[in-house]
A and B are shown apart, each in its own frame.
Chain A
Amino acid sequence: MLTGATTTITVISLLLTWGGALQEQSELRPAVIHPKEMVERRFAPSAPEVGEAMPDLPVYDSEGEELRFRDLVRGQHTVVILGCLT
């Protein structure tokens, strides 16, 4: 449910953002650019590559206790999905 919600909403937002950009730069108006691709273009060079370690940064559990993200994802297979309320 979270995935569907966040993804759908994000796609719409990116479409709107792109719409605004098109008005500002009408001379650069491309025929078709998928908004998901815009996110993927930024993600590809900046996210950890396959084979790389996860970043060693602080993260908080639901009680506010500070943990190290890298430690949290060690020891067994771990899935991390980013999301928010909106």
Chain B
Amino acid sequence: METVARDYTPKGVRFYYLYKALAHPEYHGYITPFTLEERLMHAKEAERRLGSRIPWIVDAMTNDLKHALGYAPNSEFVVDPEGKVVRRRAWSDPDALRADLEELVGAVERPTRVADLDMPTQPPPAPTVATGVVPGVEVAGHMRALRLTPELEGNKYPFYVKLRAEADQSFLAEAEGQIYLGFHLDPLYEMHWNNLAPPLELEITAPEGVRVTPTKLAATTPKEEADADPREFLVRIEADPGQRDPLKLSVLYYACDNANTFCVPVRQSYAVHLTADSDGGSPFSRTAMPAGEGVLGDMDTNGDGTIDRDELEAKERELDVLLEQAPD
């Protein structure tokens, strides 16, 4: 894409990346932002990582543009000077885009090659403390993100740790099943878990007609003094027919910055709505998937019929290699 922009910006074509909701929360540690300010920080981080000259613009937190532009995670549009769509595709394709622009504004004499670019790409932030020391929960089958509302008003501190809530298909279809509640350090704030402090505590209040077990939870404390692993829980949930009032969650944790300048207790609250969030994206890890056939079967390297966390992480590493080699 960058080569196309380098060639066609001088010919009067404007380029924008439109930053939208995360497609795969938790990949490289990035998690869903709660505020526009945090989404703007994500866009700056994307700019830093890609080293692209194409400017980023940012969708509203209600994801209205993503919806109005067809919900696709990586679509592209060419708009004429009157503001009307002249090309659209569900998946961005730099070669096809170049052909479009050749037709619309003319060919360039010597197209820029990837080798001509000097893009200062940067790696994602690396954890400065231990990881992989707190066993994660593993869930059977596909889970979907639940819509959640963090209580932003009246908070002295940002949400250094952010909740990710998901429900299994059994709950979404039959109102009885499991809910995943994961508390993830937000890399935007460069924090860690200080395991010399008390562990994260969670209290769940269910509305009438909804039963949750258990309602009081505490995270396990690893041997390491500090780590960056998420604190994850699975709870059983059962709801009476038609009951969709939200759960109320109150979490208490110690927020400790990586520079060791502060470590403070933080209490924050959420409403977790018992409906799927179509903008919630889907993490790569956590779910042991049925392998089936085709590409999914190929990922099932140990042939046990499911794709487990190790196999997903192997695929992530393979993707990282592919991305490093991606021509554009």
- Closest CB of chain B to A1's CB: distance in Å? 6
- Closest CB of chain A to B86's CB: distance in Å? 6
Interface size of B by CB at 8 A reads 101
Contacts A78-B79, A83-B18; A16 near B296 (Cβ below 8 A): yes
* Other-chain residue from A4, A62, A75, A86 in contact with B43 (beta carbon distance below 8 A): A62
* Other-chain residue from A7, A42, A75, A76 in contact with B74 (beta carbon distance below 8 A): A7
Contacts A19-B291, A22-B292; A12 near B315 (Cβ below 8 A): yes
A21, B76: Cα distance in complex, Å? 28
Q: Are the CB atoms of A20 and B72 closer together than 8 Å?
A: no
Chain B residue numbers with a CB within 8 Å of A85 are: 22, 27-28, 30, 42, 45-46, 49
Q: Does B171 contact A (CB under 8 A)?
A: no
- Closest CB of chain B to A65's CB: distance in Å? 10
Chain A residue numbers with a CB within 8 Å of B74 are: 3, 6-7, 10, 81-83
Most buried by A among B49, B83, B86, B104: B83
Chain B residue numbers with a CB within 8 Å of A83 are: 17-20, 46, 73-74, 92
Contacts A60-B57, A86-B24; A20 near B17 (Cβ below 8 A): no
Using a CB–CB distance below 8 Å, which chain B residues touch chain A?
1-2, 4-5, 8, 12-28, 30, 36-37, 40, 42-47, 49-50, 52, 54-60, 64-88, 90-94, 97, 101, 104-105, 119, 121, 141-142, 169, 281-282, 284, 287, 289-292, 294-296, 307, 312, 315, 319, 322-323, 326-328
A-B pairs, 8 with minimum CB distance: A20-B142, A47-B70, A4-B326, A43-B90, A43-B70, A55-B68, A86-B27, A86-B24
> Can you report 24 residue pairs joining A to B where beta carbons are below 8 Å apart?
A1-B323, A9-B24, A10-B24, A10-B73, A15-B295, A16-B282, A23-B290, A42-B70, A46-B68, A46-B70, A47-B90, A50-B85, A51-B84, A52-B84, A58-B64, A59-B18, A60-B40, A61-B58, A74-B79, A77-B81, A79-B5, A79-B14, A84-B42, A85-B45
Using a CB–CB distance below 8 Å, which chain A residues touch chain B?
1-10, 12-13, 15-24, 32, 36, 39-40, 42-44, 46-55, 57-64, 67, 69-70, 72-86
